[in-house]
Structure 1
Amino acid sequence: MLSFMRKISCKIILLMLLVATMGSSMLGAQTSASAATPSPTWISAKPERVAEDLNDAAQLSAFTDGIMNVHIDNFQIPGAVISIVKDGKILFAKGYGQSNIEEGTLVDPETSLFRIASTTKLFTWTAVMQLVEQGKIDLDTDVNTYLKTVKIPKTYLQPITMRHLMTHTAGFEEGGVGYQITTDPKKLPVSISETLAKHMPARVRPSGEMMSYSNYGASLAGLIVEEVSGIAYNDYIDKNIFVPLEMEYATVQEPVPASLEPYAVLGYARENGQFATRPLTFEGGFRPAGSGSVSANDMAHFMIAHLQDGRYGDKQILKPETAQLMHSPSFVFNKRLPAMDLGFYEMNMNGLRVISHAGSDELFNTAAYLVPDKQIGIFVSYSGGDGGAAAGGLAQAFFDRYFPLQEVKLSPESTVLENSLQKYAGSYQFTRRNHSDIDKFFNFLVKISITVSDNRLSIGSGADQQVYAPIGPDLFQEVGGTNQMGFRTDAAGKVTYLFLDLLNPMPLEPTPLIDQTKFWLPLLGISVALFITVLTGFAYRRREIKAMPKVQKWAVRLSAATAAWALVTFAATFLVVLNMNLIDRLSRITPSLNLYLFMPILFVGLTLAMIALSVLAWKNKYWTLLKRVHYSLVALSAVVSSLFFYHWNLLGWHFG
């Protein structure tokens, strides 16, 4: 839940962390585009392979053991578990590593409870659909109709419906600094309604317009389940999902009930070459979005029920037509790209339609993949290490072995080749971001840059570069791969949204210049340079300054104080605030953050004083012309810096 963007595959991580590349991200550099249009070329996918027999138990066991053991070593994972189902039965289930290193307890697929973070949402969405089929919830009715303790403001004419919540198209901004999680079990339990009322994010786009993955939206759906059914969320999930599916080692309660506590897998982090336990993170009032703890075998029961249209054994948790509706596209970015179903997001794995959901926090990484057409489901979860990359690698290896992609050759459409691709180039930012609170600043460096060269689009550079060639209007496919990207454009042909199938359901949109690093970093760089000249000049001209008239002397001293405070504030902004520990950032407002926020305010006060003295300097002709110009430029740099703090919500205490 905390790091949803890490959980699909290693390539996603590379895409999202392009900001770590100083040259392209920090300076916003763009590769120059080629306007030349080459002759049509073929885009070849992976070479044809022969599928292995999935029903060969020995072969499946050897293959899975090999993948999991390698991942545990390479990604430094202390414990992992997997279950694979097919045709209504558990085909394979096994634990790897240890659930408690200190006690030497091995991971057991039947009883070991792994935290599944955002995969919990599948329980919430299933509960919603149960109430839909009972006629208690309508997918397309204003959610305020069902809410009793919380009301969503009518920011836009379009109301938010349950369909919008389930497809992440409600239009909420993202939030979380200081309140999304807690590491203190003594603060639990927490009321869902009180939490959602206290920390309601702003609506930043009309509902139904575009996806923006939202933990708040899922939690709101859980609250509706609670208030419509008249049963507490935890109890509803247990009674209507876990009990009928015989999920005895499953809970959404935080911390886990005492009866299940002996089976809870501990979370670990790598420290000095060894694994060290870390406190679990709890969702509290956001638990419908991420509080689940489940064993692999119990999750297999849940997957079987969904693959069999709601049936598990002689129990039916959803009617067939309800389950089929839940698994059908409900929001489509482009008909040739994976859609968003009701709660599940679609993936294309070697030509197969996969419905999926993953989950991630600082200690656990989980993923569930269902292939309805093949009656196959895969659940995998990892405690610690880089489990997000491991899960994506496991899934791709599985499909490559048992459902290898047959060689496909796609010819770019001539209508696309005739047009310039320049309109697609530029910086893009995720729709899932904050606009109103201090959270906004943590997206300052999170951008993806697309460049054009040789009539193709590129993301990243060097060994991490992904190149896409056009295959249709606003549609591109990875050269030598199967990943695709699509764009939406307005009536004038201007790009409005970018969709990468690897990042469903988190599309992007063009980054306005004022949000780009290439706008701010040069300005801040020039300002820093001017501030440094002030301090060096102040050091070298001490005698001259001392001999100045009193007002001029204080004006120079003010410029030095402003410059010094600016440099200290910038250092704190990037080295302290931007690098805050994620757990600290989302669980509490730290004293250091509260203290830091005084710094930009004091800096603005110094800036205003410098502006006033700049006016006096020109009016009364202080110093030489060159020195007055320099003084004014320093004041202007202070204004620019103040605007930076204001724009990124660092001016004052903007907490959600």
Structure 2
Amino acid sequence: MLQRLANRYSLSVCLPGLFASVMMTFAAQAKEVDPAYEEVFARIDEVLERELPLKQIPSISVCLVDGDKIVGSKAYGYSDLDGTQPADDKTMYRIGSVSKLFTDLAVMQLVAAGKIDLDAPVQTYLPDFQPENPYDVPITLRQLMSHQSGLVREPPVGNYFDGTEPTLAETVASLNRTKLVYKPGERTKYSNAAISVVGLVVEKVSGQSYNDYMREHILAPMQMNNSSMLHEGKTQEQLAEAMMWTHHAPSFQAPVFELGTAPAGNLYATVDDLGNFLLAIFEGGSYQGQQVLPAETLATMLGGNKAAGEDDPLFGIGFKLGKIDGHPTFGHGGAVYGFSTQFSGLPEDKIGVAVAASRDCSNGFTTRLGDYATRLLLAKHAGEEFPEWEFSEAVEDPKQYVGSYQSGDDKLEIEEFNGRLYVRQGFSRNELRQADDHLVVDNVMSYGTKYEIGPEAGTLNALGKTWKRLSDECPPGAPEKWKGLIGEYGFDHNTMYIYEQDGQLWSQIEWLFLYPLTEVDENTFAFPKKGGMYESEYIVFQRDENGRATEANAANIVLKRRPVGDVGDVFTVEPTRPVDELRQLALAAQPPKETRPTRTANLVPLTKYDDGIKLDIRYATKRNFMLTPFYTSAHAFMQRPAAEAVARVQKKLADQGYGLLIHDGYRPWYVTKMFWDGTPVQYHDFVADPEKGSRHNRGCAVDLTLYDKATGEPIEMVASYDEFSPRSFPLYPGGDSRQRWHRQLLRESMEAEGFTIYEFEWWHFDYKDWQEYPIGNQTFEQLLEKPKAAAVGR
């Protein structure tokens, strides 16, 4: 399982904004569709044929229920990340928090049997359950199942980050180390820990293991034959491969380990099995004549439980309550390591939808698709015209919107990367796309927020506010007291990033969620008091004698500092074989032959064009990743058009007090082969494949950074040059505002002159038309002695 993620980036599938080979073609497999509902599915087909590639979702399955039957189910895309195995009706998904409904159903069976009192203190059933409760109010099962217990979101053991697969008893026991966040019944605070406690109550009261009880009393009676609480047997064979992603790094295959909080999120199921659950709800707790739960007990689950001070209940017993177009709804969403699920029904209309997808945190899209399918069914019931799906398009000239915007005390950031536009506002970062005369948030996480061009230049209207673009000024760096806290914490499969932004410390947690932290003391920082997954909880850092954090206790989850970037100025690797041997083999080899037309090479020294361009050619020294010289002299050559473009960048930056410091330009092919052959395979994203030839070999790539003209010193970036780590990715969120501002300045300056950034390295830029130039293998000395030799094709 987790061993496959020893180097998560070696499992890369695609980068943000790019779609690789996950879905080369559109595939759809229908189990059976009632002829009367073919037009409904035709509309869904149309949506998914266009949206799945855009949303980078490997597979998605949809099941529709109307009245007393499943009227159709269909699987789209591929159940493997290679795109070779079409998903079908047997494709299973991890349904995440939708699992909670089944755990709650188990408790309500025991309530109906007179074995459990919903309003008795939970210690009636679990006397050893003793989290710190400073309030004179005991926790009840009703509060646990409606998320009003005041418990923390995650337990210290068996939490979402924990891949050690502890037992349910160990998970619940660890909650005795925690303190209630709120008074029981005071407010709604979502908690995976709470439903884990509920699951242990099922064990203690029933006398069966949780898994055995669920299989025998919940899944079997509803004939959920393709569902399981465990990753074993047919589950291993039928489970879709799922995709994890983040804002800044390559996607990778999701890990599969059993959660310690299994009752809260560990069920595996097909959407057809979820359809059976919908049928049982619509039939008053009965499935095909077998009463799973008494109708009056089910009605209690679907009724509302308001917390103190709430105008409307957010939850019933387990079920999330709401409305769609005035129709009451029940349901739940689920998100767990690579999977997203939406389960919803309309109790009065008796229509329901189950949607499951194999891309992490794609709940914005699964919810939108589920709502659309619901509206299609409502329109069919009413004999009305079907609603249209609102498609969006890529933004033309996205760079015109880039910048920081402010409205009152609130800020938002609009960023561009590889031609796509993103907005960072609140707790998330989402893609912006064009829809009619406005921009709209439209990606897998969210949809619908509109951004309209304001009446004044540099303004946007969104979220009921007018946002004014701020001047682009270099921000101050992080205060010294926070520098020892900035970094990565956690695991390969789930990493937390701590960084500084706008004078505040921030956390990017569970890959995608961005939270400003409020300083309580030098080592304690509070998550937001309202909203977010870890509402009103804290991060407590432990520091060493040098003031550098060694771990972060984030909402009772201990996350050790990761060693990423802790290598000083020069990152090093242990070569796979001696460098002299690598050199001998590379010099004896020949570059690949190319047949496509190429321009005549004309390599010129970069320093020829502007004396402000300075050199720091690491590969002519021992200050590089293999601690050995690869060049016998320090020079930087590029094709003349590329060199002239670099000179234009230098001239513009000089006006702002900066200069360009060049680390490498043209690189002989044999050196590329040495890099590739000598670099451990887990770092191959950072070196070029000699069989394809490097853009450096063609004289169209440059490695560079900024220096301060006033001092002559290099500008500090988020990561050092040639650091083979995630910190080197152009969108890496770490570091501080000043470092990221300079990284962005360099990228924007280079892109303005026809360069594109390499997806793994903030310092590497490729000049346009690079593919038209030949692979070169001349040494620097050969170029200097015989300038015309540069024109030789190889």
Same fold, TM-score > 0.5, yes or no: yes
The aligned residue for residue 212 of structure 2 is: 235
SS of aligned partner of 1:284: coil
Report the CA distance shift for 1:236/1:645 in structure 2 as closer, same or farther (over 3 A): same
Report the CA distance shift for 1:337/1:460 in structure 2 as closer, same or farther (over 3 A): farther
The aligned residue for residue 322 of structure 2 is: 347
The aligned residue for residue 172 of structure 2 is: 196
SS of aligned partner of 2:355: strand
In the TM superposition, what are the counterparts of 1:399-410 in structure 2 within 5 Å?
399-403=374-378
The aligned residue for residue 213 of structure 1 is: 190
Report the CA distance shift for 1:374/1:250 in structure 2 as closer, same or farther (over 3 A): same
Report the CA distance shift for 1:394/1:331 in structure 2 as closer, same or farther (over 3 A): same
1:58-82 CA-to-partner distances (Å, cap 9, x unmatched) read: 2112012122333312211001101
* Unmatched runs of 5 consecutive residues or more in structure 1: 1-53, 407-424, 428-443, 449-458, 469-524, 532-565, 587-591, 594-599, 601-639
Q: Shift of the alpha carbon at 1:105?
A: 2.1
Decide which structure has greater strand share.
Answer: 2
Per mean C-alpha deviation after superposition, the further-off stretch among 241-250 and 174-183 is 174-183
The aligned residue for residue 465 of structure 1 is: 462
The partner residue of 2:226 within 226, 229, 249 is 249
Report the CA distance shift for 1:278/1:403 in structure 2 as closer, same or farther (over 3 A): same
In the TM superposition, what are the counterparts of 1:431-470 in structure 2 within 5 Å?
446=427, 465-467=462-464
The aligned residue for residue 45 of structure 1 is: none
Task: Tell me how far apart the structure 2 counterparts of residues 356 and 323 of structure 1 sit (CA, whole Å).
Answer: 13
1:457-480 CA-to-partner distances (Å, cap 9, x unmatched) read: xx9976783339xxxxxxxxxxxx
The partner residue of 2:113 within 134, 148, 151 is 134
Q: Shift of the alpha carbon at 1:153?
A: 4.1
In the TM superposition, what are the counterparts of 1:49-60 in structure 2 within 5 Å?
56-60=36-40
8 Å contact kept, 1:252–1:292: yes
Which AA in structure 2 matches 1:206? Answer: K
Which AA in structure 2 matches 1:56? Answer: A
SS of aligned partner of 1:107: coil
Task: Tell me how far apart the structure 1 counterparts of residues 219 and 373 of structure 2 sit (CA, whole Å).
Answer: 28
1:623-656 CA-to-partner distances (Å, cap 9, x unmatched) read: xxxxxxxxxxxxxxxxx99934344522456633
Q: Shift of the alpha carbon at 1:183?
A: 7.5
SS of aligned partner of 2:203: helix
SS of aligned partner of 2:135: coil
1:28-49 CA-to-partner distances (Å, cap 9, x unmatched) read: xxxxxxxxxxxxxxxxxxxxxx
The aligned residue for residue 494 of structure 2 is: 584
Which AA in structure 2 matches 1:93? Answer: S
Which AA in structure 1 matches 2:145? Answer: M
Which AA in structure 2 matches 1:118? Answer: S
Report the CA distance shift for 1:133/1:82 in structure 2 as closer, same or farther (over 3 A): same
Task: Tell me how far apart the structure 2 counterparts of residues 297 and 641 of structure 1 sit (CA, whole Å).
Answer: 48
The aligned residue for residue 224 of structure 1 is: 201
The partner residue of 1:64 within 44, 58, 61 is 44
Q: Is 1:394 aligned to residue 304 of structure 2?
A: no
The aligned residue for residue 85 of structure 1 is: 65
Which AA in structure 2 matches 1:249? Answer: N
Report the CA distance shift for 1:72/1:338 in structure 2 as closer, same or farther (over 3 A): farther
Task: Tell me how far apart the structure 1 counterparts of residues 524 and 290 of structure 2 sit (CA, whole Å).
Answer: 57
In the TM superposition, what are the counterparts of 1:322-401 in structure 2 within 5 Å?
322-331=297-306, 337=312, 339-384=314-359, 387-401=362-376
Task: Tell me how far apart the structure 1 counterparts of residues 71 and 493 of structure 2 sit (CA, whole Å).
Answer: 37
Identity of aligned residues (%): 25
Q: Is 1:643 aligned to residue 521 of structure 2?
A: yes
Which AA in structure 2 matches 1:208? Answer: G
8 Å contact kept, 1:117–1:360: yes
8 Å contact kept, 2:133–2:179: no
SS of aligned partner of 2:485: helix
Q: Shift of the alpha carbon at 1:226?
A: 0.8
Task: Tell me how far apart the structure 1 counterparts of residues 197 and 307 of structure 2 sit (CA, whole Å).
Answer: 23
Report the CA distance shift for 1:276/1:211 in structure 2 as closer, same or farther (over 3 A): closer
Q: Shift of the alpha carbon at 1:204?
A: 2.0
Task: Tell me how far apart the structure 2 counterparts of residues 385 and 88 of structure 1 sit (CA, whole Å).
Answer: 32
The partner residue of 2:272 within 293, 297, 307 is 297
Report the CA distance shift for 1:296/1:288 in structure 2 as closer, same or farther (over 3 A): same
Which AA in structure 2 matches 1:161? Answer: T
Task: Tell me how far apart the structure 2 counterparts of residues 391 and 357 of structure 1 sit (CA, whole Å).
Answer: 12
The partner residue of 1:573 within 485, 490, 493 is 485
1:540-579 CA-to-partner distances (Å, cap 9, x unmatched) read: xxxxxxxxxxxxxxxxxxxxxxxxxx2xx634534535xx
Report the CA distance shift for 1:400/1:260 in structure 2 as closer, same or farther (over 3 A): closer
In the TM superposition, what are the counterparts of 1:238-317 in structure 2 within 5 Å?
238-253=215-230, 256-269=231-244, 278-317=253-292
Q: Shift of the alpha carbon at 1:180?
A: 1.4
The aligned residue for residue 44 of structure 1 is: none
* Unmatched runs of 5 consecutive residues or more in structure 2: 1-33, 385-407, 411-424, 430-448, 453-459, 466-474, 499-504, 506-517, 527-539, 544-550, 557-794
Report the CA distance shift for 1:130/1:576 in structure 2 as closer, same or farther (over 3 A): same
Task: Tell me how far apart the structure 2 counterparts of residues 641 and 207 of structure 1 sit (CA, whole Å).
Answer: 26
Which AA in structure 2 matches 1:155? Answer: P
The aligned residue for residue 96 of structure 1 is: 76
Task: Tell me how far apart the structure 2 counterparts of residues 196 and 166 of structure 1 sit (CA, whole Å).
Answer: 15
8 Å contact kept, 1:178–1:585: no
8 Å contact kept, 1:347–1:354: yes
The aligned residue for residue 121 of structure 1 is: 100
Q: Shift of the alpha carbon at 1:273?
A: 14
Task: Tell me how far apart the structure 2 counterparts of residues 641 and 654 of structure 1 sit (CA, whole Å).
Answer: 14
In the TM superposition, what are the counterparts of 1:610-649 in structure 2 within 5 Å?
643-648=521-526, 649=540
8 Å contact kept, 1:310–1:318: yes
The aligned residue for residue 699 of structure 2 is: none
8 Å contact kept, 1:80–1:383: yes
The partner residue of 1:168 within 140, 147, 152 is 147
After superposition, the CA RMSD in angstroms is 3.8
Decide which structure has greater helix share.
Answer: 1
8 Å contact kept, 2:154–2:160: no
SS of aligned partner of 2:78: strand
Q: Shift of the alpha carbon at 1:228?
A: 0.8
The aligned residue for residue 86 of structure 2 is: 106
Which AA in structure 1 matches 2:272? Answer: N
Task: Tell me how far apart the structure 2 counterparts of residues 353 and 123 of structure 1 sit (CA, whole Å).
Answer: 21
SS of aligned partner of 1:58: helix
Report the CA distance shift for 1:177/1:65 in structure 2 as closer, same or farther (over 3 A): farther
Q: Shift of the alpha carbon at 1:57?
A: 1.5
8 Å contact kept, 2:156–2:171: no
SS of aligned partner of 1:126: helix
Q: Shift of the alpha carbon at 1:392?
A: 2.1
Which AA in structure 1 matches 2:69? Answer: K
Q: Shift of the alpha carbon at 1:372?
A: 0.6
Task: Tell me how far apart the structure 2 counterparts of residues 218 and 307 of structure 1 sit (CA, whole Å).
Answer: 24
Task: Tell me how far apart the structure 2 counterparts of residues 247 and 240 of structure 1 sit (CA, whole Å).
Answer: 11
8 Å contact kept, 2:158–2:260: no
In the TM superposition, what are the counterparts of 1:588-607 in structure 2 within 5 Å?
none
Which AA in structure 2 matches 1:305? Answer: A
Task: Tell me how far apart the structure 2 counterparts of residues 227 and 386 of structure 1 sit (CA, whole Å).
Answer: 33
Report the CA distance shift for 1:402/1:426 in structure 2 as closer, same or farther (over 3 A): farther
Report the CA distance shift for 1:227/1:209 in structure 2 as closer, same or farther (over 3 A): same
8 Å contact kept, 2:353–2:374: no
Report the CA distance shift for 1:396/1:467 in structure 2 as closer, same or farther (over 3 A): farther
8 Å contact kept, 1:77–1:386: no
SS of aligned partner of 1:403: helix
1:50-101 CA-to-partner distances (Å, cap 9, x unmatched) read: xxxx983121120121223333122110011011111121011010111124
TM-score after normalising by structure 2: 0.47
8 Å contact kept, 1:150–1:196: yes
